[in-house]
C-alpha cells in the first residue's frame, strides 16, 4: 500500500470523476470518428481552470530551496496518468499541460527558462499545451541518429529538418525540438530548443491516423529555416559541453517513461474491471470454467500490481531528485507487455463478447499496443538496463 | 513506512545482513549443505540479527519489528545462503499461525519453544476440499520438532508430538534437514475456526517468508550470472554481451526489482493491518517465486555446462528456488487462495472498487 497524501487522493478522485463524465465518452467518440477532440473542447478548459488538474502537476510550493520556479510533479503526473488512462488513454494524452515538453524543461532548462515557458500554464482562461519533438522519419528508438540540424546565426538558432510522432504538437504553445549541430558529433551535437507556435517555417505536415489511442493528435512537422532566439536554447550553451545535451534528452525520457508506463496500468485496470464484471454477470456460479477465470483474474491483478509499484517507484525517485535511469527503464520494460497480457487475458474471459466494436475491450486491445513502442520500445529498455547493469556495449 | 523507503534502522539491518551473508554464509554454503547444517556460529549470528524475533510481537516475547523488517533480513541472508534458514527460523513460516491462533497464551508458548530451540514447529497447508487426516509430506525442520500447525481454509489446528518425524532428505535445504510424518498418534491440542479469510493470513505469512528467501536467492543468482557472463568469452565477446543473453538478463533484473517492491509492499500491508493484506502478500510471494525460478534457471543456462556442476552455487539456487514454490501448499494453493478472492478484493493502492 503506497500511502497517498490527501491532495493526491483528492487529485485521483477528481480525475476519476472527470474520466467518467468526459474522458470515456470523448475517447469512444474519437475512436469512432478517428479525430481527437478539438482543442476548444469544454473539458480541456475545465482541466485548466484555477486549481484544476494542470496547475496541480506544476507546483510552485514544492520547489527545492524555496526558489520561485514552478516544479513539474512526476509522482502526481504518474497518478493522473494511471487514473486518466483508465478512462481513455488517448484523451489522457490530450490533457492540457506541458507534457513531454515539461519533462524536457525539468531535465534541461535553466530556472529562468522554466519560469518563462511554464508561465502560460498560469493562464486559466484557456487550455494550453506544450510538446516535445524528438522522433524523425529515420530516427525512432535510436535518438542519437536525429538529423534535424541547428546552426547559430548571430543571436538566433536556425533549425532545419522534420519531426514526427509529436503528441499534441499541433495545438501546443511551444515545442521542445531536439536537433544536432553536427550529426558527426553524435550525442555531443544534440541541442534542445523551444520553438514557439507560429514561428515562420515551423509547419504542420499532417496529423497521423492510428490503429488506436485516437483521442490525441500525433503530429508531423517540417522545420524550414526556423529561427528562434538564442535564449530558447534549453540550459544555455554551457549545458551542452561534453555530453550534457544527450544526457538531457535521456533525463527527459527517464521522467516520462514511468508516466507512460503508468498509463498502461490504468488501461489494464479498465480491462480487469470489464473482465470482473463479465465473470460476475455471465459466468456459471461453479465449475472449471469459473475457476479458470478466477485464476486468470488473480494473474492479471498480480501483473498490474507489480507494474504499478515499479512505475510509482520510478516516478517517486524522479520526484525526489534521485537518478532513476535504471528504474524508469524497468517500468517501461515491464508495464506495457504486462498490460498487453492483461488486456488479452480479459478478451479471453469475455470471448466473442469482447471483440465487438461496441465493447470497450477490443478498443483497449488496439489502444494498448503503442505503449510498448512510444518513449522507447521494450527492446530499447532492455538495452538500457543491460548497459546499466553490466556494460552492454553500444556496438553489440 | 512504505515499499519505497526503508528506515535507517532497516537500512542498517540490511547492511549487517549483507555483510554476514557475503563474508560468512556464502563462502560456507556448500560445506553447510554437505554437512547437513549451518555452523553453530552462523546460527548465533543470524539469531543475533533478530532472525527469530523480528516479526514476533513484543507481547509474545519478540522484537515486534514487523513483517517488513523480516522480509528485508531474509533477503539479505538468503543472498548468501538460504540452506539453513528454514530450520533455524522459528517460528518463521509458522508465525502467521501464531498470530492468528485465538489461544494466544498457547501460541506464545509454542513460539517461545521454537525461538529458544527447545521445540520447533512446522506448518502443514491442507486443501479444505480434501477430506481425510492431514499428512506432513515434508517440512524443513531440525530436531527437536514438536508442534504441527495445520491450516485448511479458515480452520486452524495445532498438534503435539507426532510419534515419528522421519528425517527425510529432499530437493534442497539439506542444511536445514527435513522431516515427514503421517501425523498418526498426534494429540490435537486445539482446533479453531477463524474469521472468514483469516486462514489466508496464516498461509500468507508463510508465503511471504518463502518469497523473501526466494528474492535473496534470485538476486544472488542474478549477481553471480552477471559476474560470470561478463567475464566468460564466447564467439569473441562476453556471454552477456550477446544480445539474446543481455535481453534475458535485463528482463530478469526487472522481475527481481518488481518482486522486491511487491514483497516490501505486501509486508507493509501486513504491518499496517490492511484488510486485503494476505491477498497482496500472497500475490507478492507468487511473483517472487516465479522470478526466482526463472532467474535461477537462467543462472544455470547461461553458465552452460558449468552451471550443472556443483562447483558453482547455481545448481543449489536452482533447487532451492523451485522448492520454495512447493512448500506450504505451494504455488497452486497460493493461486487457489487468490482465485477465491478474485471478485472481492480491494485494490491495494488507492482504487477501492470505485469503478464498479
pLDDT digits (tens, 9 = 90+) for A157-200: 999 999 999 999 999 999 999 999 998 888 788 899 999 999 99
Q: How far is B154 from chain A (nearest CA, A)?
A: 19
Q: Using N-to-C axis directions, what is the helix angle for B198-229 and B314-324, rounded to 10°?
A: 160
CA neighbor of B333 nearest in space, from B292, B289, B269: B289
Contact B91, B114 (CB under 8 A): yes
User: To the nearest whole percent, how much of chain A has pLDDT over 90?
Assistant: 65
Residue whose entry in the numeric block shows the C-alpha cell 527460523 = B89
More confident residue, B291 or A323: B291
Residue to test with chain A: of B222, B240, B246, most A Cβ within 10 A: B246
CA neighbor of B274 nearest in space, from B190, B165, B201: B201
Continuous segment of H or E residues that includes residue A195: strand A190-196
Distance between CA atoms of B276 and B346, rounded to whole angstroms? 6
Catalytic position from the list A82, A83, A136, A375: A375
Q: How far is B101 from chain A (nearest CA, A)?
A: 26
pLDDT given for residue A59 in this prediction: 53
Cross-chain residue pair B355–A273, CB shorter than 8 Å: yes
Cross-chain residue pair B251–A333, CB shorter than 8 Å: yes
Supply B319's cell numbers: 533447487
pLDDT given for residue A50 in this prediction: 67
Distance between CA atoms of B159 and B247, rounded to whole angstroms? 50
Cβ-nearest to A2 among B2, B343, B355:
B2
Q: Is the pLDDT of residue A52 over 80?
A: no
Instruction: Classify strands B145-152 and B120-126 as parallel, antiparallel or unpaired.
Output: parallel
pLDDT given for residue A138 in this prediction: 85
Tell me the pLDDT tens digit for each residue of A251-306.
Answer: 667 778 999 999 999 999 999 999 999 999 999 999 999 999 999 999 999 999 99
Q: Is the pLDDT of residue A73 over 80?
A: no
Q: Per-10-residue mean pLDDT for chain B, 356 residues long?
A: 86 98 98 96 96 96 96 98 96 97 96 92 89 85 88 95 78 93 88 94 98 98 98 96 97 98 96 92 98 98 93 96 96 96 72 33
Distance between CA atoms of B128 and B126, rounded to whole angstroms? 6
Contact A187, A246 (CB under 8 A): yes
CA neighbor of A316 nearest in space, from B117, B3, B100, B236: B3
Tell me the pLDDT tens digit for each residue of A137-153.
Answer: 888 777 778 899 999 99
CB atoms within 10 A of CB A310: 30
* 3-state SS, residue B206: helix
Q: Is the pLDDT of residue A56 over 70?
A: no
Cross-chain residue pair B253–A385, CB shorter than 8 Å: yes
Q: Establish whether A362 is a catalytic residue.
A: no
Cross-chain residue pair A2–B340, CB shorter than 8 Å: no
The pTM of the full predicted model, rounded to 2 decimals, is 0.92
Cβ-nearest to A309 among B247, B265, B338:
B265
**Cβ contacts of A112-121, under 8 Å, gap ≥ 24:** A113/A194, A113/A231, A113/A232, A113/A234, A113/A235, A114/A69, A114/A70, A115/A68, A115/A69, A115/A70, A117/A174, A117/A194, A118/A58, A118/A70, A118/A72, A120/A173, A121/A48, A121/A54, A121/A55, A121/A58, A121/A70, A121/A96, A121/A97
Cross-chain residue pair A382–B246, CB shorter than 8 Å: yes
CB atoms within 10 A of CB B326: 18
Tell me the pLDDT tens digit for each residue of A335-347.
Answer: 999 999 999 999 9
Q: How far is B268 from chain A (nearest CA, A)?
A: 7
Residues comprising chain A, all counted: 396
Cross-chain residue pair A386–B4, CB shorter than 8 Å: no
Residue to test with chain A: of B254, B272, B274, most A Cβ within 10 A: B254
Say how many CB pairs under 8 Å bridge A and B. Answer: 138
pLDDT given for residue B135 in this prediction: 86
Q: Is the pLDDT of residue A60 over 50?
A: no
Cross-chain residue pair B250–A382, CB shorter than 8 Å: yes
Cβ-nearest to A385 among B254, B274, B356:
B254
Cβ-nearest to A1 among B269, B286, B340:
B269
* 3-state SS, residue A72: strand
Tell me the pLDDT tens digit for each residue of A201-231.
Answer: 999 999 999 999 999 999 999 999 999 999 9
Amino acid at each position: 500500500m503506497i500511502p497517498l497524501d490527501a491532495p493526491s487522493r483528492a487529485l485521483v478522485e477528481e480525475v476519476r470523476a472527470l474520466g467518467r463524465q468526459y474522458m470515456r465518452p470523448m475517447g469512444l467518440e474519437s475512436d469512432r470518428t478517428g479525430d481527437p477532440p478539438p482543442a476548444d473542447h469544454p473539458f480541456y478548459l475545465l482541466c485548466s481552470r484555477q486549481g484544476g488538474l494542470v496547475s496541480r502537476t506544476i507546483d510552485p510550493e514544492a520547489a527545492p530551496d524555496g526558489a520561485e520556479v514552478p516544479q513539474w510533479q512526476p509522482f502526481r503526473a504518474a497518478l493522473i496518468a494511471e487514473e486518466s488512462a483508465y478512462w481513455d488513454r488517448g484523451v489522457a494524452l490530450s490533457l492540457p499541460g506541458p507534457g513531454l515538453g515539461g519533462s524536457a524543461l525539468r531535465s534541461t532548462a535553466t530556472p529562468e527558462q522554466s519560469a518563462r515557458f511554464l508561465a502560460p500554464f498560469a493562464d486559466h482562461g484557456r487550455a494550453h499545451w506544450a510538446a516535445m519533438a524528438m522522433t524523425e522519419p529515420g530516427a525512432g528508438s535510436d535518438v542519437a541518429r536525429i538529423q534535424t540540424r541547428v546552426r547559430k546565426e548571430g543571436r538566433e538558432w536556425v533549425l532545419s529538418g522534420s519531426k514526427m510522432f509529436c503528441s499534441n504538437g499541433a495545438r501546443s504553445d511551444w515545442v521542445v525540438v531536439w536537433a544536432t549541430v553536427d550529426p558527426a558529433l553524435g550525442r555531443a551535437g544534440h541541442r534542445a530548443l523551444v520553438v514557439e507556435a507560429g514561428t515562420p517555417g515551423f509547419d504542420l505536415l499532417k496529423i497521423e491516423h492510428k490503429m488506436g489511442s485516437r483521442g490525441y493528435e500525433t503530429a508531423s512537422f517540417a522545420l524550414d529555416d526556423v529561427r528562434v532566439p538564442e535564449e530558447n536554447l534549453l540550459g544555455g550553451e554551457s549545458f551542452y559541453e561534453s555530453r550534457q545535451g544527450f544526457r538531457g534528452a535521456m533525463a527527459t525520457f527517464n521522467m516520462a517513461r514511468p508516466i507512460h508506463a503508468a498509463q498502461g496500468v490504468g488501461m489494464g485496470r479498465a480491462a480487469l474491471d470489464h473482465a470482473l464484471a463479465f465473470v460476475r454477470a455471465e459466468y456459471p456460479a461453479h465449475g472449471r470454467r469459473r475457476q479458470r477465470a478466477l485464476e486468470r483474474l488473480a494473474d492479471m491483478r498480480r501483473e498490474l500490481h507489480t507494474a504499478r509499484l515499479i512505475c510509482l517507484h520510478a516516478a517517486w525517485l524522479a520526484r525526489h531528485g534521485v537518478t532513476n535511469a535504471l528504474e524508469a527503464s524497468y517500468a517501461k520494460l515491464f508495464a506495457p507487455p504486462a498490460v498487453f497480457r492483461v488486456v488479452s487475458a480479459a478478451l479471453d474471459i469475455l470471448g466473442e463478447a469482447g471483440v465487438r466494436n461496441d465493447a470497450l475491450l477490443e478498443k483497449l486491445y488496439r489502444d494498448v499496443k503503442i505503449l510498448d513502442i512510444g518513449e522507447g520500445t521494450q527492446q530499447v529498455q532492455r538495452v538500457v538496463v543491460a548497459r546499466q547493469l553490466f556494460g552492454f556495449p553500444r556496438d553489440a | 513506512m512504505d515499499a519505497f523507503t526503508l528506515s535507517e534502522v532497516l537500512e542498517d539491518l540490511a547492511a549487517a545482513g549483507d555483510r554476514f551473508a557475503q563474508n560468512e554464509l556464502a563462502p560456507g554454503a556448500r560445506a553447510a549443505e554437505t554437512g547437513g547444517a549451518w555452523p553453530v556460529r552462523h546460527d548465533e549470528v543470524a539469531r543475533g540479527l533478530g532472525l527469530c524475533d523480528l516479526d514476533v510481537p513484543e507481547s509474545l516475547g519478540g522484537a515486534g519489528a514487523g513483517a517488513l523488517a523480516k522480509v528485508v533480513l531474509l533477503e539479505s541472508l538468503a543472498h548468501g545462503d538460504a540452506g539453513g534458514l528454514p530450520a533455524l527460523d522459528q517460528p518463521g513460516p509458522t508465525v502467521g499461525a501464531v498470530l492468528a491462533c485465538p489461544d494466544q497464551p498457547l501460541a506464545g508458548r509454542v513460539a517461545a519453544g521454537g525461538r529458544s530451540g527447545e521445540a520447533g514447529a512446522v506448518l502443514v497447508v491442507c486443501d479444505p476440499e480434501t477430506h481425510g487426516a492431514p499428512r506432513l509430506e515434508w517440512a524443513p525442520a531440525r530436531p527437536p520438532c514438536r508442534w504441527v500447525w495445520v491450516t485448511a481454509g479458515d480452520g486452524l489446528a495445532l498438534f503435539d508430538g507426532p510419534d515419528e518425524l522421519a528425517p527425510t532428505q529432499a530437493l534442497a535445504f539439506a542444511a536445514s534437514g527435513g522431516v515427514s510424518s503421517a501425523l498418526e498418534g498426534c494429540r490435537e491440542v486445539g482446533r479453531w475456526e477463524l474469521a472468514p479469510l483469516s486462514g489466508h493470513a496464516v498461509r500468507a505469512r508463510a508465503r511471504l517468508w518463502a518469497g523473501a528467501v526466494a528474492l535473496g536467492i534470485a538476486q544472488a543468482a542474478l549477481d553471480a550470472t552477471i559476474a560470470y557472463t561478463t567475464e566468460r568469452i564466447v564467439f569473441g565477446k562476453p556471454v552477456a554481451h550477446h544480445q539474446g543473453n543481455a535481453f534475458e538478463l535485463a528482463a530478469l533484473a526487472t522481475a527481481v526489482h518488481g518482486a522486491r517492491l511487491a514483497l516490501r509492499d505486501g509486508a507493509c500491508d501486513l504491518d499496517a493491518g490492511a484488510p486485503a493484506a494476505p491477498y497482496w502478500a500472497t500475490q507478492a510471494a507468487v511473483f517472487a517465486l516465479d522470478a526466482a525460478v526463472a532467474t535461477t534457471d537462467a543462472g544455470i543456462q547461461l553458465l552452460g555446462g558449468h552451471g550443472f556442476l556443483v562447483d558453482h552455487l547455481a545448481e543449489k539456487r536452482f533447487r532451492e528456488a523451485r522448492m520454495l514454490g512447493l512448500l506450504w501448499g505451494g504455488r497452486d494453493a497460493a493461486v487457489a487462495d487468490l482465485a477465491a478472492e478474485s471478485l472481492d478484493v480491494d485494490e491495494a493502492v488507492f482504487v477501492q472498487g470505485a469503478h464498479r
